[in-house]
Structure 1
Amino acid sequence: MTNPCHTAALGWPSVPEHPRPPAELTVLERLLDGAPPGVEIRCTDCAGEPVLPVYEIALGTSSPQAPAVGFFGGVHGLERIGAQVVIAWLQSLLARLSWDDTLHRQLECVRLVFMPLVNPGGTLRHTRANPAGVDLMRNSPVEAKDRVAPMVGGQRLSAGLPWYRGRAGATMEPESAALCAVVERELHPRPFSLAIDCHSGFGLHDRLWFPFAHTARPIGHLAELEALHAILESSHPNHPYVFEPQSRQYLAHGDLWDHLYLRASPRTVFLPLTLEMGSWLWVKKNPRQLFSRSGIFNPMLAHRHERVLRRHFPLLEFLVRAAIGSARWLPAEAQRGALRHRALERWYRPS
């Protein structure tokens, strides 16, 4: 059986050299060509030259009352490792369908949705933005309520500058719209859902961010996030993640997950997370990566690349199990006040 964590087995180039199409897309399509029956595959073509597909893959129950987990990657084209982690996880699940009875029992009570490569045009061009020059994670209509950092918080000056949001009043980019459509169709209608969006490039530590990015005020489901954090701490006490609101690090306009959280029904629980892999550690261990645009955001040495792919599998499996068992750990109404107070002390009180 193919080792889902071995870069050679999946065909990843050790140093990407402008593959056409992107290596991640080639690997994903090869994987989908061999997908077993029951795996649902949809495709949206996005604007650009060449026209590249954005794939959506789903497996598991179609019951509208079942929980769901969405796995997203490749929103920023330079951050290839995010797409590769999601593709490797999908490959592992598809390989296990032929023999893993436990996985089949899990899929009877959970829906799993994947968008491994949201921005194939940016991946092809080795750019953070999509082919139109728009940063997809600054592209929603959400405006920051507090002061944002110049430029990095999103700008409308020019597509030739980083962090461009797009024109004011314009419709969302096709890739952003495709991601939102998947979330609103597959995750929002369910009583409980989680999303994990895999990125890289911030700091020396792996972080799990939750909304908000547009304001420092707490999210409405703060008690539920405190409960999720508690079961992560208890079941994986040595996990490597800093779990926190994104607003602790910086504020930004146009965050897609803020937008999607705010659009969710108050009668449901939708918890979007961002995995921000700490790529500065890879650069610290291999300073030559500073001289490569890809190297600032991705592990370049083969052994480190394989280790990163393996490193996050326990987290992704945890999220599936947390969704399946959500009725056991989601707080009752009487518990929410105490959990919210604990979360405020942990994440929002000045240190």
Structure 2
Amino acid sequence: MPHPTPIELPELDALERTIALGGNHLQARTVCSVDLPGGARYPVVCVTLGNPALDVPAVGYFGGVHGLERIGAGVVIAHLHSLVERLAWDSALHRQLESVRLVFMPIVNPGGMALGTRANPRGVDLMRNAPVDAQDPVPFLVGGQRMSARLPWFRGAFGAAMEAENQAVCEVVQAELLSRNFSLSVDCHSGFGTRDRLWFPYAHTRTPITHLAEMHALQAIFTASHSHYRYIFEPQSLQYLAHGDLWDHLYQQACAQPGRIFLPLTLEMGSWLWVKKNPRQLFSRHGIFNPLIAHRQQRVLRQHQSLLDFLARAAHGHRLWLPDAELRTYHHAQARHDWYGSHA
């Protein structure tokens, strides 16, 4: 019986070319594999570079969690490719990598990407699949549901283990990020509004996170050093609550380790702006979540590189900007005022 031909994934091809180009500078491994109906199989790949010692900080870059949001995977792969090209001539980058660890999982949901679905091949929305329940009512369906995999935002069956893709993310985050005293991550998505947003936990509750002051300090150094930034920093709970958020789950695991700081961000690219500029994209499932015109896609791939580079620099120099006790009080109060207002 002939082996089924997998659906071509240009993003996976680009990732494999980048890994080959990086040579000995990179370490790549398949964390798990995902099967499609019919027998095709796709790898979930993790790529690392920089110092593996646990006494240096780390940054994780994630994309492709929702199969329809291909631009997220593209942004992460573009940044990895840029780093690989710079390794040939950038001595400052080599010195930086001596004191920081960079971790990439650009295509978390290759099966969903191949099928053109938000969920994975089992019909589970990976961002509704973690063992975290919202503490207040969530929007119908959007906040996660257990009724049927045929409906969107399916959390998975009650009591079932997390999906293999999420277990792969957890394995990498626990080994590479939560094992260190300081780490950051960014998970690249698209599809909410006309502005690019940087969300941070929580999604399951409006209660502020433990490291609210540190998150506010991170925002402060970003806005101070990027005079024309376009991102809105905010807790996801300001927009809606949801069950099963994977980054809520991992952040809570980090908080169980006293003295360690893990600041996870979700880049939510405002894809409605692309639809506004090209209304015909409304007639394509991919067009709602991705820029379909070539020059616009290239612009999106470029415009987020400074953010991703900033995160590595912020991790590398975290001791210079993390607030001490007095500044922590200030940042905490300012964050509650800026982000929670009357809900503080």
**Alignment TM-score, normalising by the size of structure 2:** 0.95
- Is 1:37 aligned with 2:24? yes
Q: What is the distance in 2 between the residues matched to 1:191 and 1:262?
A: 15
Matches within 5 A, 1:45-64: 45-48=33-36, 49-64=39-54
Alpha-carbon distance, 1:189 to partner: 1.0
Distance 1:30 1:38 in 2: 14
CA contact (8 A) 2:50 2:102 kept: yes
Q: Does 1:28 align with 2:15?
A: yes
2: distance between equivalents of 1:29 and 1:238?
Answer: 34
Q: C-alpha displacement at 1:47, in angstroms?
A: 3.4
What letter corresponds to residue 7 of structure 2 in structure 1? R
Equivalent position to 2:269, from 274, 277, 299: 277
| Cα distance in 1 for residues equivalent to 2:275 and 2:100 | 38
CA separation in 2, counterparts of 1:72 and 1:255? 15
Match in the other structure for 2:228: 238
CA distance in 1, matches of 2:21, 2:90: 17
- 2:250 maps to 1:263: no
Q: Hey, what does 2:188 align to over in structure 1?
A: 198
Please, which runs of 5 or more residues in structure 1 have no aligned partner?
1-18
Q: Which amino acid aligns with 2:97?
A: L
Paired position in structure 2 for 1:8: none
CA deviations on 1:37-92 (whole Å, 9 max, x unpaired) are 13111102123341100000000001111010000000000000000000010001
How many angstroms apart in 2 are the aligned matches of 1:160 and 1:35? 41
Aligned: 1:342 with 2:334: yes
1:217 pairs, out of 190, 207, 223, with: 207
2:175 to 185, 192, 195: 185
Aligned length: 333
Deviation at 1:205, TM superposition (A): 0.1
* 2:128 paired with 1:141: no
CA distance in 1, matches of 2:183, 2:132: 22
* 3-state SS in 2 of match to 1:230: helix
Instruction: Say if 1:47 and 1:174, in contact at 8 Å, map to a contact too.
Output: no
CA deviations 1:1-25 (Å, max 9, x no partner) are xxxxxxxxxxxxxxxxxx8221111
- What SS does the aligned partner of 1:34 have? helix
**Identical amino acids, percent of aligned pairs:** 60
CA distance in 2: counterparts of 1:231 and 1:37, whole angstroms: 33
Q: Indicate whether 1:325 and 2:317 are aligned.
A: yes
Residue pair 2:125, 2:153 contacting (<8 A) in 1 also: yes
Q: Aligned equivalents of 2:201 and 2:220: distance in 1?
A: 18
Structure 2 distance, partners of 1:160, 1:23, is 27
- Three-state SS of the structure 2 residue aligned to 1:335 is helix
Q: After superposition, where does 1:14-25 map in structure 2 within 5 Å?
A: 20-25=7-12
Q: Which residue type is aligned with residue 35 of structure 1?
A: G
Q: Distance in 2 between matches of 1:237 and 1:97?
A: 28
Give 1:46's aligned amino acid: V
Whole-angstrom CA distance in 1 between matches of 2:40 and 2:203: 33
CA-CA distance at 1:338 after TM superposition:
1.7
Residue of structure 2 equivalent to 1:4: none
Amino acid at match of 1:21: E
- Letter paired with 1:259: H
Cα shift at 1:202:
0.2
Letter in 2 for 1:308: V
Q: Which amino acid aligns with 2:250?
A: L
Separation in 2 of the partners of 1:158 and 1:267? Answer: 41
- Unaligned residue ranges in structure 2 (runs of 5+): 1-5
Aligned 1:60-75 pairs, distance under 5 A = 60-75=50-65
Secondary structure of 1:144's aligned partner: coil
Rounded to whole Å, the distance in 1 between the matches of 2:11 and 2:121 is: 17
Deviations 1:183-217 (A, max 9, x none): 00000011110000000000000000000000011
Given that 2:21 and 2:84 are in contact with CA atoms closer than 8 Å, whether structure 1 keeps it comes out as no
CA RMSD of aligned residues (A): 1.1
AA aligned to 1:115 is M
Question: Match for residue 3 of structure 2?
Answer: none
SS of alignment partner, residue 227 of structure 2: coil
Q: Which residue of 1 aligns with 2:99?
A: 109
Deviation at 1:146, TM superposition (A): 1.0
Query: Is the CA contact (8 Å cut-off) linking 2:186 and 2:266 kept in structure 1?
Result: yes
- TM-score, normalised with respect to structure 1: 0.93
Q: d(CA) in 1 for partners of 2:45 and 2:191?
A: 24
Secondary structure of 1:346's match?
Answer: helix
